[in-house]
Amino acid sequence: MNQQQSQMTDVNLQLLQQYNLGSFMKMYKGSSWGCLIPVVIFMVIWVTGVFVWYEQFWEHVEHIMPLYGIVFITIAFTFMISIGIGLLVMLIIGMHRGISKGNLNAYLYEYGFIYCTSKGIVEQVVRWTDITVFQHKVVKHSSTSSSGSTSTTYSDVYTITLRNTEKPVRLSFGKEFAKAVECEVANWHYPFARTAYWSGSMARFGRLAIWPQGTYDTTNRATLPWSHGGVSIKKIGERHAWAFFPVGALDNPEVLRRLIATEVPYRFEVLLSR
């Protein structure tokens, strides 16, 4: 066993003993330098642009501007340099933080996960019982080239909402980690959703809710009975879907899938798409 593996084992043992999250499942490695890349790129572009602008302008400014104009341009240039120095300080602080604390990793356990650095500094502890909502949103990005053509890309954004908080927390460390969290959250929430369904209450999933009478669109405040359900939540015989919306409008979609697959009395399927 090499030194790095030994350190990881020591960290796992320490976290297990301290937080009692059950069996260790997997570690997802992160990097403390990723957040600094945009700052570095911006600084390079900014410095290059400022000096090119200053050299080009200074060649002509003495001939076209009086003294007060030159003073104004000098003050403006000094202000821009100050911004650059501020960015440089932020970069240095970020680098120092990364070196002193180590890379941020995610440790997945039986009863939750922990954000902890490679040097054993715990950033956040989350138990499955703390998570009220898991959401998966697909974000559309469009860009136009110089030739006028438009290209579109999509990125997946996974977030969780913790108990007694309103602002969602974004999950890093890639799709594999996010899906692992989603499955564990579904394992915890599913029994409660099933109980709510069979007690006659609504099992709520953000925009969509289901109950013994059918499925309920909370935005349009309309109920579609199970006996009228079909593929993609549409009435039998109708061309257009009764309800169609992105997966990002749903809370805990994995729990919804399980509840529909095991409990509803008719063939019913929700199409989760972009």
pLDDT tens digits for range 145-181:
767 788 888 888 999 999 988 889 899 888 899 999 9
Q: Which of 235, 226, 217 is nearest to 260 (CA)?
A: 226
d(CA 39, CA 31): 15
Residue 199 lies in a domain: yes
pLDDT of residue 13: 62
In a 13 Å sphere around the CA of 85, the CA atoms on its Cβ side amount to 6
Kindly report whether the global pTM for this prediction surpasses the value 0.75.
Answer: no
Q: Decide the pairing of beta strands 203-205 and 169-170.
A: unpaired
Residue 19 lies in a domain: no
pLDDT of residue 71: 66
Location of structure tokens 């009975």: 225
Asked if residues 133 and 251 have their Cβ atoms less than 8 Å apart, the reply is yes
d(CA 232, CA 250): 14
d(CA 204, CA 210): 7
pLDDT in tens, the chain (274 residues): 444 444 455 566 666 667 888 888 898 987 555 555 555 666 666 666 666 666 656 555 555 555 555 666 667 667 767 776 776 777 677 666 666 677 788 999 999 999 988 777 888 899 999 999 999 888 888 877 767 788 888 888 999 999 988 889 899 888 899 999 999 999 999 999 989 988 989 999 888 898 888 888 888 898 877 665 443 566 656 667 777 666 567 788 778 777 877 666 544 555 444 3
Last residue of a domain, one of 101, 134, 150: 101
Asked if residues 207 and 244 have their Cβ atoms less than 8 Å apart, the reply is no
- 26 - beta bridge partners? 108
Residue 212 lies in a domain: yes
> What are the tokens at 106?
């995610």
Residue 134 lies in a domain: no
Residue 58 lies in a domain: yes
pLDDT of residue 134: 92
User: Which residues have a Cβ under 8 Å from the Cβ of 197 and sit 6 or more positions away?
Assistant: 203, 210, 211, 212, 259, 263
Residue 246 lies in a domain: yes
How many domains, the chain? 2
Last residue of a domain, one of 101, 126, 145: 101
For 107, the 3-state DSSP assignment is: strand
> What are the tokens at 158?
């996974």
pLDDT of residue 69: 57
Residue 230 lies in a domain: yes
For 206, the 3-state DSSP assignment is: strand
Asked if residues 102 and 217 have their Cβ atoms less than 8 Å apart, the reply is no
pLDDT of residue 24: 87
pLDDT of residue 250: 75
pLDDT of residue 127: 94
d(CA 179, CA 253): 11
d(CA 233, CA 189): 23
Asked if residues 51 and 43 have their Cβ atoms less than 8 Å apart, the reply is no
Q: Report which secondary-structure segment, H or E, holds 159.
A: strand 150-162
pLDDT of residue 235: 60
Owning domain of residue 232? 183-263
Residue 106 lies in a domain: no
